[in-house]
Structure 1
Amino acid sequence: MSDRQPIIPKGMEAVYEKIHYASAVKVGDTIYVSGQIGRDEHMQLVEPREAQIVQAFENLKKVLAAAGAEMTDIVDLTSFHTDMRDLPLFMEVKDRYLTRDYPAWTAIGAAQLCGVPGYIIEIKAVAVLRR
């Protein structure tokens, strides 16, 4: 029997049903969070730039909460940026959400995210529940 459990937070069901991927998958005490972008519960792009980054972190936080985790449970964070000049702004927002127990972090430049113009950030994470 597999202990693999898809995590589908309320308001994110369309991603699972229409795009066919889980917002996260929980295996044991480990949570693998799919890339979270700056779209709202109506799947609409959030603007301006800082608001989009905040929304991506809020989405990440929502997925973790649905799995029974918190931001401090993140052990690995990967961010994808369409413009690396946004890195200082991203770091400023990141520091509002990750205030201690800092995870490993990799920032990657990308030409486009989600195949849709306008998205500037995508954040994926791995979290481990504390015992």
Structure 2
Amino acid sequence: MAKRNAIFPANRHALYEEHGYSAAIRSGDLLFVSGQVGSRPDGTSEPDFGRQVQLAFDNLQATLKAGGCTVDDIIDVTTFHTDPENQFGTIMAVKQQIFSEPPYPNWTAIGVNWLAGFDFEIKVIARIPSDA
């Protein structure tokens, strides 16, 4: 069995080390990105929800970059929300800045009651460009 090819962005190891997981795994031409949250570099949650969502997307973009991808390479998105009804407008405002024009990736949003101190999490699958 081939060893996993783990990908980590620069300066983002606090939560990965604390909880024992990789930021992303490269498999062939696919990049499977673990759930990204709005954490500060020390792993603590950003208390402002809008800023937390923006940080989650920033952390996602840093992980994609470390794997040779951009948001344009994303195929599939899954997001987790602790209060979807009240949070949706804030999330959509950030999402529309990131994914500003079609074709949009697949997207599944899931309401949950616990995210380890966070209120939003995003995980994706991206296709790694052939020149990466």
**Does structure 1 residue 34 correspond to structure 2 residue 63?**
no
Structure 2 residue runs without a partner (length 5+)? none
| 1:3 CA displacement | 6.7
| 1:19 CA displacement | 1.4
Q: Pairwise mapping of residues 1-131 of structure 1 onto structure 2 (< 5 A)?
A: 2=2, 4-84=4-84, 85-100=86-101, 101-114=103-116, 116=117, 119-131=118-130
Deviations 1:26-73, CA, capped at 9 Å, x for gaps: 111100000011101121211311101000000000000000100111
Give me the TM-score of the superposition, normalised by structure 2.
0.89
Give me the TM-score of the superposition, normalised by structure 1.
0.90
CA contact under 8 A between 2:14 and 2:41: conserved in structure 1? Answer: no
| 1:8 CA displacement | 1.3
Structural RMSD (CA): 1.5
> 17-26 vs 60-69, which deviates more?
17-26
CA contact under 8 A between 1:32 and 1:127: conserved in structure 2? Answer: yes
CA contact under 8 A between 1:31 and 1:127: conserved in structure 2? Answer: yes
CA contact under 8 A between 1:3 and 1:27: conserved in structure 2? Answer: no
| 1:77 CA displacement | 0.4
Question: How many correspondences in the alignment?
Answer: 128
Residue identity opposite 1:108 in structure 2: I
Structure 1 residue runs without a partner (length 5+)? none
CA contact under 8 A between 1:15 and 1:22: conserved in structure 2? Answer: no
